[in-house]
C-alpha cells in the first residue's frame, strides 16, 4: 500500500513541475504584459543582471583609465636606473 502511495506522490510531483515550467512558457507566449514584467524582473534596473552589467562596466572603465594613465606616464631617471639594476 505504501509503495503505491509513494509512486503516486512521485508522479504527482513530476506533473506539478512540468505544469509550473509550461505555465511560464505559455504566459510568455500569450500575454504581452507578462513578458514586460518578466523582462523587467530579469533585465530591469533592479535585477541582478542589470547590477552585474553596471558593475562590469564600471570595472572596465576604471581598468581602461588605469592602463591609459600608465601608458601616458613618462619614465623618470629613477625608474630607468631601477630597471637597469
Is 83 a domain residue? no
Pick the closest to residue 38 from 24, 51, 26 (CA basis): 24
* Domain that residue 14 falls in: 2-73
Is 82 a domain residue? no
Q: Tally the domains of the chain.
A: 1
pTM of the model: 0.41
Q: 5-45: per-residue pLDDT in tens?
A: 888 999 999 999 999 999 988 998 999 998 888 888 877 77
Pick 30 or 48 by higher pLDDT.
Answer: 30
Is 8 a domain residue? yes
Is 81 a domain residue? no
Amino acid at each position: 500500500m505504501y509503495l503505491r502511495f509513494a509512486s503516486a506522490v512521485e508522479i504527482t510531483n513530476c506533473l506539478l513541475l512540468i505544469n509550473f515550467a509550461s505555465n511560464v512558457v505559455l504566459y510568455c507566449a500569450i500575454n504581452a504584459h507578462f513578458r514586460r514584467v518578466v523582462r523587467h524582473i530579469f533585465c530591469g534596473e533592479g535585477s541582478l543582471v542589470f547590477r552585474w552589467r553596471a558593475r562590469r562596466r564600471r570595472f572596465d572603465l576604471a581598468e581602461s583609465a588605469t592602463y591609459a594613465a600608465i601608458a601616458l606616464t613618462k619614465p623618470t631617471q629613477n625608474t630607468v636606473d631601477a630597471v637597469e639594476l
